[in-house]
Amino acid sequence: MTLAIGDRVPDLALTATGEKTVRLSDYRGQRLVLYFFPRANTPGCTQEGQDFRDAASDFAAHQTAVLGASRDSLKAQENFKAKQSFPFDLIADTDEALCQAFDVIKVKKMYGKESRGVERSTFLIDTDGTLRAAWRGVKVKGHVAEVLAAVERLAAG
């Protein structure tokens, strides 16, 4: 089942960088941008993370936290976060529970072969834990600016 705009997001226990376990409910009272990326330390994922990093203060100014998520191991996420100086945590969704909840696992074709992978996607969750916007099949260029504009509209009421 795919989450729809207006649905309450599931509250899962998630393994995050910094040896933390976080829940989406931990972010209630502020907005949350949850972005899914296919793989740490690949060009598109690095650029997307850098764009979120570079806009972190703009998101914070609108009481909005950012979380990145992929199926990478916690060690890979820790290394990626440190290497890129991300000011936000990354989720190591190795059991795919979060990916399944947001329906971001898709069959991809590369070089004629099919494989399961994370579809680059971003979700905007409001202060009450309700899904307010979703971007699927994201193209990196200009995406963070589009998400920030949506945050600003939501913050303005």
**Which of the residues are catalytic?**
45
3-state secondary structure (DSSP) of residue 137:
coil
Could you tell me the CA-to-CA distances from 28 to 10, 22, 62, 100, 128 in Å, in that order? 12, 12, 14, 21, 6
Tokens representing 127 are: 């202060």
**Distance between CA atoms of 139 and 144, rounded to whole angstroms?**
10
Q: Residue 129 — left, alpha, or beta (φ > 0 → left; ψ -120 to 50 → alpha)?
A: left
Strand-pair category, 64-70 with 31-36: parallel
* Extended beta strands in 51-100, E state: 64-70, 90-92
